[in-house]
Amino acid sequence: MTETPSYNPRIHWFALVTCVATLGLIGVGGVVTSTGVGMAVPDWPNTYGYNMFFFPFSQWVGGILWEHSHRLFASGVGLLTLILCLWTFGRPARGALRWVLVPLSGGGALVSWKTGRFQDAAFLGGVCLVALAVSFVWPRCRPSRPLLKIMGVVALVGVIGQGILGGLRVTLFADQIGIIHAAIAQLFFVLLCGFTLVSSRWWSRLGQQSRPEKVSRVIGWGMGVLTLMVLFQLVLGASMRHQHAGLAVTEFPLVAYGKLWPATDEASIDKLNRERVDHREFEPITKNQILLHMAHRMMALSLFLAAGIWTWVCVRKEPKGHLVGSLMIVWFSMMCVQALLGAATVWSNKAADIATLHVVLGALTLALGALSSMIALRLAQTIPAGVSTSVSSYPDLASVAERPSAGVV
């Protein structure tokens, strides 16, 4: 007999922890890119011949510290995602642990031992034993809703794919893979944030009402379009970083020697390369890098104007204190800070801390946009006449979360 899906607040809070860890991983990745140490460890999945979990701490120096920490952080996020995915399947997930993970890790340990890779054998053997022991006691809850299970599986596939892309970026020495890697990292973070929202009791309460509200639907779709614009802007930013075009134009708000648009003729580019102040770039700036940099700026301006207009629309169309209007104001405020950080990145000669903060806030901006559009569309389908949609109508998640029943883990 199929068990009825249950609400499990522990899964919700664990998803929130995974979100925070993923944001930290994006931050560490931003440091790696901003400081140009992505190739400080030239081999993968090992670290200078060691299994990455056995790499001597005494050798964590310079760029190796950040790149190796990035790998370990990524492994931790992968583990959290695996736990989250299995948890959504409830008690039946024990079979996956016992009959899939245990044979795979055990077989890998045996092969590694026979080929002389003893560190790998020790690590995989430990995974095998832990998975076997855990499979007898966890998870104990009923399965989650189908949507959460699907999101969990997609997240697990995504984090595995991210690990492979990160490895290929190193072994193939391909900046283009780094761009894809950075873009998927943003989407993965948004997916986990969406999981956290959908797994909350608060989200379920929004679905217990019934009348459509057309204005909120229009606003929701508009916020969705803005979110796609933010995603495109982040992809442009990742392309700019991995193509070493972060300081292709070294002035702001004007672009080059007081002009509105930088010259891209051969003589001007040659002069620019002779006078560049960023000694960390390995290749001369090209016309394409200048155009990429300017596309990032123009997209930022377009996004700023569109978000400002849409914020005004939300405030005018919705009652004072409306949840969606408040979210839009917060979102637009984040975009303003993000624009200031982008300018500070240029003014500071691409200081690693400012550039990294710019990357992290970009991820938060994308996530807030996606969640806000989800909430607006949810409200458009569920708000009945006479029900308040002010911010005060929605208490903190912790105050509305149900206590788990005995044995729900």
305-355 pLDDT, tens digit each: 999 999 998 888 776 767 888 899 999 999 999 999 999 998 888 888 999
Question: Taking residues 204-218, what's their average pLDDT?
Answer: 63
What pLDDT score does 258 carry? 65
With beta carbons less than 8 A apart as the criterion, state whether 201 and 7 touch. yes
Question: Which whole-number Å values give the CA distances from 247 to 80, 178, 270, 346, in the listed order?
Answer: 36, 18, 15, 7
With beta carbons less than 8 A apart as the criterion, state whether 86 and 96 touch. yes
What pLDDT score does 194 carry? 97
Report which of residues 263 and 163 the model is more confident about: 163
* Residue of 232, 219, 188 whose CA lies nearest to 380: 219
- Which pTM value belongs to this model? 0.88
Alpha carbons 110 and 223: distance in angstroms, whole number: 52
Dihedral sign, Cα of residue 311, residue 316, residue 320, residue 323: negative
What pLDDT score does 399 carry? 42
Residue 398 scores a pLDDT above 50: no
* Residue of 178, 190, 211, 206 whose CA lies nearest to 384: 211
pLDDT band at 272 (very low <50, low <70, confident <90, very high): confident
With beta carbons less than 8 A apart as the criterion, state whether 83 and 77 touch. no
Question: Taking residues 207-231, what's their average pLDDT?
Answer: 77
pLDDT band at 242 (very low <50, low <70, confident <90, very high): confident
Three-class HEC string of 171-220: HCCCHHHHHHHHHHHHHHHHHHHHHHHHCCHHHHHHCCCCCCCHHHHHHH
Report the helix count and the strand count for the chain, using DSSP H and E. Answer: 14, 0
Residue 387 scores a pLDDT above 50: no
% of the chain exceeding 70 in pLDDT: 86
User: What pLDDT, in 10s, does the model give residues 58-91?
Assistant: 999 989 999 999 999 999 999 999 999 999 999 9
Report which DSSP code applies to 100.
I
Cα dihedral 167→172→174→178 (10° resolution): -10
With beta carbons less than 8 A apart as the criterion, state whether 97 and 131 touch. yes
What pLDDT score does 101 carry? 92
Q: What mean pLDDT is reported for the chain?
A: 85
Residue 322 φ/ψ, nearest 5 degrees: -60, 140
Report which of residues 7 and 302 the model is more confident about: 302
To the nearest 10 degrees (0 to 180), the angle between helices 146-171 and 62-88 is 160
